[in-house]
Amino acid sequence: MQILLVDDEPELTSPLSRALNREGYNIDVADNGEMGCHMAIEGNYDLLILDWMLPQKTGLEICQKLRSLHDYTPVLFLTAKDTIDDRVTGLDAGADDYLVKPFELRELLARVRALLRRPPTIEATTTQQNLRVRDLELDIENQVAYRSGQMINLSEKECKLLGYFMNYPGQLLTHQQIYEYLWGQGEQPSSNVLAAQVRLLRRKIEATGESPLIHTVYRKGYRFGEL
């Protein structure tokens, strides 16, 4: 799991990075908002931990920028601002959770685990009608994709699955997350249904000579994009 930590206090980022590393997470650190915003946009992170008050660009502004780009990577705010109005402002900006400084390391780690367990929000798939990753474009409204100039007709389920993948390039989507998105929590398709659906989609978007885009993560799920 890739985590971006954006905070300008080295006395906090150094021990926190070590603690997160010990938990098995890969950590990148930025010490100002401008750099953090650039890394958040260009990188493929599973979670962003943002300080609210940062030089050059605030954590609030970073979060607002990402949400305006339809990037719904989970955001955890670290801040000394502890009024109800502050919390509402942060959540309204698109934050997923909020932790007031000073905090206990155990609580932060618990919140990180909770955020990483959440299925990615499906809001992104309903806000954009056209998605593009590398040389692949998806027209959701017309249920077709285009790669290398070739039009690819998709079934309704294939279009929905591809749109889900394309909204989260580089991120691990677990089998359970995909099942819940495609079929809902009430339905229980057989265990090989998802594998078959992915196989059909691969045949359509990964023609001979083209680089693979859907990568199997053994016993966990799938990751979309060029590796």
- For 221: left if phi > 0, alpha if psi spans -120 to 50, otherwise beta; the answer is left
Least confident interval from 77-91, 99-113, 163-177: 77-91
Find, among 167, 69, 76, 74, the residue nearest to 126 by Cα.
167
pLDDT tens digits, residue range 9-51? 888 889 999 999 999 999 999 999 999 999 999 888 999 999 9
Question: How far is the CA of 153 from the CAs of 82, 98, 101, 168, 198, in angstroms?
Answer: 51, 43, 52, 22, 15
List C-alpha distances in Å: 27 to 49, 99, 106: 10, 19, 17
Query: Using one digit for the tens of pLDDT, what is the confidence trace for 165-208?
Result: 998 888 889 888 888 888 776 555 666 788 889 999 999 999 87
pTM: 0.54
Place of tokens 């889900």: 164
pLDDT band with cut points at 50, 70 and 90 for residue 120: low
Please, what are the domains in the chain?
2-117 (3.40.50.2300), 123-224 (1.10.10.10)
